[in-house]
Amino acid sequence: MNIFDLRKLGVAVLAVLLLSPAATGFAQKVTEYTADQVTMGNVKNRKESTLGEETVSGYRCSKKEIEAEIEVMGFKNTSRSAVWQSPKFDPPLRTRSYPGQVTELRNI
């Protein structure tokens, strides 16, 4: 190996050592962010039934069950969910899909 090859090898090793911490920084979990929520697909049929009122995160909400037929990329699916909607916010404060996954806004 000549001196030019040794220098290239040294520069490569140095670059790997310097960039390794940066790569692990990109792999860390993001804890603070903002985003836009987008719903894709056509909701052709939607049925809503009111289930009463409940409090979520300190806000009075109307609780509704929603059944919707959704078509995305040619596939049709019927989904059922319960939503807790406060008149003070656009998105629901709580959503429960069937068979039971719950998503809730907290620390508002």
d(CA 63, CA 83): 6
Q: Sorting pLDDT into bands at 50, 70 and 90, what band is 88?
A: very high
d(CA 108, CA 93): 10
Model pLDDT, residue 5: 66
Element holding 64 (H helix, E strand): strand 59-72
Model pLDDT, residue 81: 93
Element holding 80 (H helix, E strand): strand 75-85
Between the ranges 8-17, 27-36, 40-49, 64-73, where is the mean pLDDT highest?
64-73
Looking at residue 58, the DSSP 8-state letter turns out to be T
b/e per residue 32-63 (b: at least 16 CB within 10 A) = eeeeeeeeeeeeeeeeeeeeeeeebeebebeb
Which is more confidently placed, 18 or 37?
A: 37
Per-residue pLDDT for 2 more than 80?
no
